[in-house]
Amino acid sequence: MAGSQPTPATEANGPERMTGAQAVVRSLEELGTEIVFGLPGGAVLPLYDALFDAEKLRHVLVRHEQGAGHAAEGYAVASGKVGVCIATSGPGATNLVTAIADAHLDSVPLVAITGQVGSPLLGTDAFQEADIRGITMPITKHNFMVTDPDEIPYALAAAFHIASTGRPGPVLVDIPKDIQNAVIDFNWPPTIDLAGYKPNTKPHNRQIAQAAKMIAEAKRPVLYIGGGVVKAEAHKQLAEFVEATGIPVVTTLMALGAFPQSHPLYLGMPGMHGSVPAVGAFQESDLLIAVGTRFDDRVTGDTDTFAPLAKVIHADIDPAEIGKIRAVDVPIVGDAKRVLSELTDCFSESGKTKAPDIALWIERLQGLKDRFPRGYDKHADGTLAPQYVIETLSRLAGPDAYYCSGVGQHQMWSAQFVDFETPRHWINSGGAGTMGYAIPAALGVKAAHPEAEVWAIDGDGCFQMTNQEITTAALEGFPFKVALINNGNLGMVRQWQTLFYDGHYSHTKLGGETYVPDFVQLSEALGAVAIRVTTEEEVEPAIQRAREINDRPVVIEFIVGEDAQVWPMIAAGSSNSDIEYARGMRPFFDEEESAAESPAAISETIETAVAEQEGN
């Protein structure tokens, strides 16, 4: 037990003597870590022995290492701090890989600490040995194997620095068991010297000036805002820039909440299941001002036809993203907060640049918002509409609640029908599209904000992957709530099979009306209060009841129709101009519309009107 470990010396007697495992715990505490998520095993037992005596560090025992990783992600996204997860060697470490890959694609600051077999056994195929450093090399910002116990404080301090600066991301620290057991002189703080790692946060003045000039001359500009704005805490600077210029805003899936959705200049989310005003604005724009975004394929569709009339200003902390997908007219490398602040200064009263005159453009976009509002059709067969469930949840829980989602139809409905007003209240798996993300992520969010209302909006497919973490929530005291959308199928796959595979529903049926598994009984067995809802009249009372229960997790199973689909939609790889507002209804080239509704025609009409206006 912990009593067998060296007793740390007092500071008055010089450096403290402790084991490498104790140095890990102490380093985490010095770095401000309050909570870690993990599961013990043989190669990490020395670290868990040290955690036994930790005074400032809370450990949350998950039921699966993947849950530890996603919980750390949810904690990081909701708090803005570095999330920490711990696993043992071999399968424990490899169970973290999905969460690490998820954090990599969504730029989440994550530090994963793994135990490793003893140094003399490395490379011998020892019990539970896996080259986790080699496995995770492509999906981490950096990773360490600690071979000298004296380097533990440095490795952890460097890991936190790398994970949280520049473009955030995951870092792995692999520590052999003998290194954890070794006794060292603990010194803090270590000097961090990372040759070649110097993220550029200050944008170049010339690029800012060029961008301001281009913005002032634009007739149809659009702000294309990505998750980097959230990570840079730049939402206030974004609002100030919009106030100074009057330019409309589109926020990606990862940036929902970066700009208030109630604002009249907000157009919605772009992409495969984006709003018609957002997609149409891209297609008709003459200038995209892209900040903290990477031109993801789910946004662009066919890149050759994406925003065909637009010049591009692209600002990002990561220079590798600029010009990677779309040619850029003005590249800006820098922190989103500084970029937006310096651009705003150009249009301030003391600045020299006049805001663009875009009244006709705003009128055009308002017309799209009026013609193609958010909405859905209630089912003629009487089944409960999932959109109604999520819309009602948003209305009752409000924008102060935190919403986590899995991946699939329920994720897209959540993005469409929850009203986001502030950043970091929307937590989901974007780049990786990881099924099973919502439940453990909600655990992490609740750990970050214990007093807040936290909802996991999940599908029956995703729920069956990580529902064991409800037990963690019940036993550890993190009573989040779950809105389980049960359509008895892998819903998004079924939608694609309906639209593109002639209704060949190959291996997508999960159970549905047979209640296998019975999610109410399962949730109760896991430690939650469980409610089943089958009619529209039951939705609001069930949500209100769940909101009143704060001592245990709550799972509401909503039985919905299996044929509900997500609209609008752009087929994968298609042009954004081919967006369908509803099945068979194409806003820009509908049979009832003429070619005058094409982006080029709209562009010409607006430019002609502007020219006439300027001539008068």
From 52, 56, 127, 521, active-site residue? 127
d(CA 148, CA 185): 12
Run of H or E residues at 427: strand 426-428
Contact between residue 542 and residue 531 where contact means Cβ atoms under 8 Å apart: yes
From 177, 219, 446, 481, active-site residue? 177
User: What type of residue is 316?
Assistant: D
127 in catalytic set? yes
237 in catalytic set? no
The pair phi, psi for residue 144, each rounded to 5°, is -125, 145
From 128, 210, 366, 464, active-site residue? 128
Contact between residue 114 and residue 96 where contact means Cβ atoms under 8 Å apart: yes
d(CA 450, CA 439): 16
- Across-strand partners of 560? 384
Q: Which residues of 310-337 are buried (b: 16+ CB within 10 A; e: fewer)?
A: bbbbbbbbbeebbeebbebebbbbbbbb
Sheet holding 170-176, edge to edge: 58-61, 35-38, 83-87, 110-116, 170-176, 142-145
From 145, 254, 435, 492, active-site residue? 492
Q: How many helices (H) and strands (E) does the chain have?
A: 24, 20
Burial class (CB within 10 angstroms; exposed 0-12, middle 13-18, buried 19+) of 160: buried
337 in catalytic set? no
Q: In the numeric block, which tokens belong to residue 113?
A: 């600490």
Helix (H, G, I), strand (E, B) or coil at 113: strand
The pair phi, psi for residue 191, each rounded to 5°, is -85, 120
Radius of gyration of the chain (CA): 26
Contact between residue 272 and residue 569 where contact means Cβ atoms under 8 Å apart: yes
User: What type of residue is 470?
Assistant: I
Helix (H, G, I), strand (E, B) or coil at 368: helix
409 in catalytic set? no
177 in catalytic set? yes
Place of tokens 């060697």: 89
From 16, 37, 65, 73, active-site residue? 65
Place of tokens 């159970």: 511
Burial class (CB within 10 angstroms; exposed 0-12, middle 13-18, buried 19+) of 519: buried
d(CA 137, CA 174): 12
DSSP code string of 534-586:
-SHHHHHHHHHHHHH--SS-EEEEEEB-TT----SB--TTS-GGG-BSBTTB-
d(CA 466, CA 130): 24
Contact between residue 103 and residue 69 where contact means Cβ atoms under 8 Å apart: yes
Contact between residue 445 and residue 351 where contact means Cβ atoms under 8 Å apart: no
Helix (H, G, I), strand (E, B) or coil at 171: strand
d(CA 140, CA 504): 38
d(CA 491, CA 190): 50
Burial class (CB within 10 angstroms; exposed 0-12, middle 13-18, buried 19+) of 592: exposed
Residues marked active site are found at: 65, 127-128, 177, 492
